[in-house]
């Protein structure tokens, strides 16, 4: 826009300046010719019309003139030419005058003669090209801005068309889930951004390799931890039953409880590691029947519920989602484990699965002491346990549930159970 404006101004001055220079030259020549012909006879100012050795008078159709005395009285020439006041002697002044509804350029010259001060005003009656130049300036400026607007539109259209492949690539990447690390087809993008796609594919390959290494590490860790801990538990169970161990049976029971707690904490830490999104980028999800998962988890905790005199019930309807079965098992197991831990004897725990508002859900409801509203966000944090919580938990149960729920885009809500007593944890899948 600035360049267009500068260009139009330059065009305007290039059009006006030559005409103004030529007009000023003609006005000076006419003023000089008139001054050379001024005569004073008997105190009267006259113009000598003879051509002997004098500059020629300007043609009436090109130059009009007026001679006035110092009082502004007309001496000779055209009275239509307005008087221009002069401040100093022997001065010349260029100005614009309105004559016959036309703006004409004038030159006023003041000089002294024997008969007094004479003021000569000459006007160029030729149509100078300033109005035309002004029109040319406006038309040039308008045309330049039209060209600018058209150019901007063409550039915008060109950019939109040129960026369509980039937008398709952006949409393809945006539509992918964090679990999808398939290479992008390089032939579907323009060659200008093909190096970017090659780099992205290389990054996806590195991520897959890193995820596989992490999953292998988790699997090896689980095996290396669970095997010795299970062996210790078995040996302690046998040792406690030996008659020779009766004097230290109390200490062995304490040790057995510690090993059991160690096994539980190790399993929870491994579950938390498996629930990490970075460890599940290459997870092999599959259709999972939630009612089957609920049945398996409830069966596994049935003996514990029976020993604690807790009514463990199941309410399910057939529903399935696409997920990793082991992660869903971890999610539900931690919910049931928490519910049984905090529900007193004679209470009940209900595990349910089904459809709610068209979406699958898992829920565990208990008749325990409940979770205060101020604590419902904090219990999602790792290693946080409510004050006065029973047992020696590690504070990872609900953190694991929250991590797995977020991995699948599900929402976990904590609310009072039916009747306002206990706790109901609901995991709603998208």
**C-beta of residue 169 within 8 angstroms of C-beta of residue 189:** yes
For residue range 156-172, list pLDDT tens digits in order: 999 988 888 888 888 88
Q: Are 126 and 62 in contact (CB under 8 A)?
A: yes
Taken in order of first residue, the domains within the chain and their CATH numbers are 2-132 (3.30.450), 284-428 (3.30.565.10)
Residue 255: which residues within 8 A CB-CB, separation 6 or more?
236
Q: What is the pLDDT of residue 245?
A: 80
**Cα 276 from Cα 216, distance rounded (Å):** 14
Q: Up-side HSE of residue 45: CA atoms within 13 Å toward CB?
A: 24
Q: What is the pLDDT of residues 220-234, one digit of tens each?
A: 676 677 778 778 878
**pLDDT tens across 260-286, in order?**
777 777 776 676 666 665 555 445 678
pLDDT digits (tens, 9 = 90+) for 136-162: 677 777 888 888 889 999 999 999 888
The pLDDT value recorded for residue 93 is: 81
Q: Tell which wins on pLDDT, 116 or 284.
A: 116
Q: What does the pLDDT look like over 43-59, one tens digit per residue?
A: 677 777 676 667 777 77
Q: Which residues of 60-86 are buried (b: 16+ CB within 10 A; e: fewer)?
A: eeebbbbbbeeeeeebbbeeebeebeb
pLDDT (0 to 100) of residue 311: 92
Average pLDDT along the chain: 80
Q: From residue 257, how far is each of 186, 263, 264, 392, 394 by CA, in Å?
A: 58, 10, 10, 10, 14
Burial of 416: CB neighbours in 10 Å, binned 0-12, 13-18, 19+: middle
Q: Which two tokens stand for residue 177?
A: 């889930």
pLDDT digits (tens, 9 = 90+) for 332-391: 988 998 889 888 999 999 999 999 888 999 999 999 888 888 788 887 877 666 666 665
Does residue 293 carry a pLDDT above 80? Answer: yes
Give the mean model confidence (pLDDT) for residues 103-130: 78
- Cβ-Cβ contacts under 8 Å for 139 (sequence gap 6 or more): none
* 368-381 burial: b if 16+ Cβ within 10 Å, else e: bbbbeeeebeebbe
How much is the pLDDT for 167? 86
The pTM for the full model equals 0.48
């Amino acid at each position: 826009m600035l360049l267009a404006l500068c260009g139009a101004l330059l065009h305007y001055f290039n059009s006006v300046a030559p005409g103004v220079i030529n007009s000023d030259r003609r006005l000076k020549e006419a003023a000089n010719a008139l001054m050379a012909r001024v005569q004073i006879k008997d105190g009267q100012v006259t113009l000598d019309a003879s051509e002997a050795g004098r500059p020629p008078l300007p043609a009436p159709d090109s130059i009009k003139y007026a001679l006035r005395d110092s009082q502004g009285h007309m001496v000779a020439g055209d009275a239509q030419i307005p008087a221009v006041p002069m401040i100093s002697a022997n001065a010349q002044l260029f100005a614009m005058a309105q004559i016959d509804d036309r703006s004409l350029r004038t030159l006023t010259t003041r000089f002294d003669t024997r008969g007094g001060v004479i003021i000569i005003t000459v006007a160029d009656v030729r149509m100078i090209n300033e109005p035309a130049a002004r029109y040319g300036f406006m038309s040039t400026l308008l045309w330049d801005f039209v060209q600018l607007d058209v150019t901007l539109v063409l550039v915008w259209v060109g950019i939109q068309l040129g960026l369509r492949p980039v937008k398709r690539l952006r949409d393809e990447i945006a539509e992918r889930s964090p679990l999808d690390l398939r290479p992008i087809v390089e032939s579907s993008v323009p060659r200008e951004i093909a190096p970017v796609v090659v780099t992205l594919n290389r990054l996806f390959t590195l991520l897959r390799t890193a995820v596989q290494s992490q999953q292998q590490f988790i699997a090896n860790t689980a095996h290396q931890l669970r095997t010795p801990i299970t062996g210790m538990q078995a040996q302690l169970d046998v040792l406690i039953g030996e008659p020779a161990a009766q004097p230290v049976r109390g200490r062995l029971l304490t040790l057995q409880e510690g090993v059991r707690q160690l096994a539980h904490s190790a399993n929870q830490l491994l579950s938390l590691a498996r629930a990490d999104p970075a460890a599940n980028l290459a997870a092999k999800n599959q259709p999972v029947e939630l009612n089957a998962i609920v049945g398996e988890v409830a069966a596994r905790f049935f003996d514990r519920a029976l020993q604690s005199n807790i009514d463990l019930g199941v309410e399910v309807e057939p529903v399935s989602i696409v997920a990793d079965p082991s992660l869903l098992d971890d999610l539900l197991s931690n919910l049931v484990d928490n519910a049984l831990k905090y529900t007193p004897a004679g209470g009940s725990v209900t595990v349910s699965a089904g459809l709610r508002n068209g979406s699958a859900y898992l829920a565990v409801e208990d008749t325990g002491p409940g979770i205060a509203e101020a604590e419902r966000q904090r219990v999602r944090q790792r290693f946080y346990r409510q004050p006065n919580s029973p047992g020696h938990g590690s504070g990872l149960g609900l953190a694991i549930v929250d991590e797995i729920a977020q991995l699948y885009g599900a929402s976990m809500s904590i609310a009072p159970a039916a009747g306002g007593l206990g706790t109901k944890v609901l995991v709603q899948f998208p």
